[in-house]
């Protein structure tokens, strides 16, 4: 699988947020997007997911301009900005409700994913009483539970304890080795120093590659 950004520019009310982007993401790699808050990372991810249309240029998934066709990219799941769930439902109930849309996983897979993010002991607690870290874990579980081919995570390690962050880094590297595309956005370089194949820096409406190849 491959995503190609070709001469992509995004403006809001005439103000340029991202300008003339030319990037390629392909299966089997972990890509990290770094940059300060407000540098355009979340806007970029929303374009990739089909939530925003580029002002100019095109975004292709396996040579298909899915945004032009008013589609979302296939087998893609994302966590962008703060995760939101129904507060009156438990973590498990929220995931079960989301899983019912596609109806291609069972309750066992949901519980297994909650175990992966170290949230299984709190699965029956209502989301309204979740801490910041617990909310973040549930958001990550929502992305991972249906085994997508494209995993997109915006600031995934925010508020998560070290042992879970280490576990997730290992898992994401394994997912890339299995042939998936993994994209992680962060404003902290040390979050991802042992994770990435390629790093792209967002600054002043531009994006440039600052690292190729995992250490």
The pLDDT score that the predictor gives to residue 112 is: 97
Closest CA to 166 of 195, 188, 142, 138: 195
Cβ distance 133 to 160 under 8 Å? yes
User: How many residues does the structure list for the chain?
Assistant: 215
Which pLDDT tens digit goes with each residue over 26-57?
Answer: 999 999 999 988 899 999 999 999 999 999 99
Query: CB neighbours (10 Å) of residue 186?
Result: 22
- Every domain of the chain with CATH number 3.40.50.300 lies at 1-75+148-215
Sign of dihedral through CA atoms 135, 136, 137, 142?
positive
**Confidence check: pLDDT of 99 > 60:** yes
Q: Where are the alpha helices (DSSP H) in 90-209?
A: 91-102, 107-116, 132-144, 162-177
List C-alpha distances in Å: 61 to 93, 152, 174: 32, 15, 22
Which pLDDT tens digit goes with each residue over 155-204?
Answer: 998 889 999 999 999 999 999 999 999 999 987 665 566 778 899 999 99
Alpha-carbon Rg for the chain, nearest whole angstrom, is: 17
Which pLDDT tens digit goes with each residue over 81-94?
Answer: 888 999 999 999 99
Closest CA to 181 of 193, 173, 189: 173
The pLDDT score that the predictor gives to residue 197 is: 86
Query: CB neighbours (10 Å) of residue 84?
Result: 10
pTM: 0.93
Three-state secondary-structure class, residue 107: helix
Structural tokens at position 57: 């240029």
Which pLDDT tens digit goes with each residue over 55-83?
Answer: 999 999 999 999 999 999 999 999 998 88
Determine the Cα–Cα distance for residues 56 and 10; give it in Å rounded to an integer: 7
Q: What is the CATH number of domain 1-75+148-215?
A: 3.40.50.300
Cβ distance 9 to 54 under 8 Å? yes
The pLDDT score that the predictor gives to residue 185 is: 93
Helix/strand/coil percentages in the chain, nearest 5: 30, 30, 40
The pLDDT score that the predictor gives to residue 192 is: 64
């Amino acid at each position: 699988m491959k995503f190609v950004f070709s001469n992509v520019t995004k403006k809001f009310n005439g103000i340029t947020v991202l300008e003339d982007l030319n990037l390629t993401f392909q299966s089997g790699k972990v890509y990290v997007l770094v940059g300060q808050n407000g540098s355009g990372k979340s806007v970029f991810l929303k374009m990739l997911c089909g939530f925003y249309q580029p002002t100019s240029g095109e975004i292709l998934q396996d040579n298909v301009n899915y945004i032009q066709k008013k589609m979302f990219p296939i087998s893609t799941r994302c966590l962008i900005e703060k995760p939101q769930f129904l507060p009156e439902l438990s973590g498990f109930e929220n995931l079960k409700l989301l899983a019912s849309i596609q109806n291609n996983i069972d309750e066992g897979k949901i519980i297994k994913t909650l175990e992966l993010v170290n949230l299984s002991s709190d699965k029956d607690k209502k989301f309204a009483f979740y801490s910041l870290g617990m909310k973040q874990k549930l958001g990550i579980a929502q992305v991972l539970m249906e085994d997508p081919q494209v995993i997109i995570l915006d600031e995934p390690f925010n508020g998560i304890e070290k042992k879970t962050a280490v576990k997730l880094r290992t898992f994401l590297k394994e997912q890339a080795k299995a042939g998936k595309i993994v994209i992680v956005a962060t404003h902290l370089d040390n979050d991802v120093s042992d994770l990435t194949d390629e790093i792209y820096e967002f600054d002043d409406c531009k994006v440039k590659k600052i690292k190729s190849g995992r250490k």
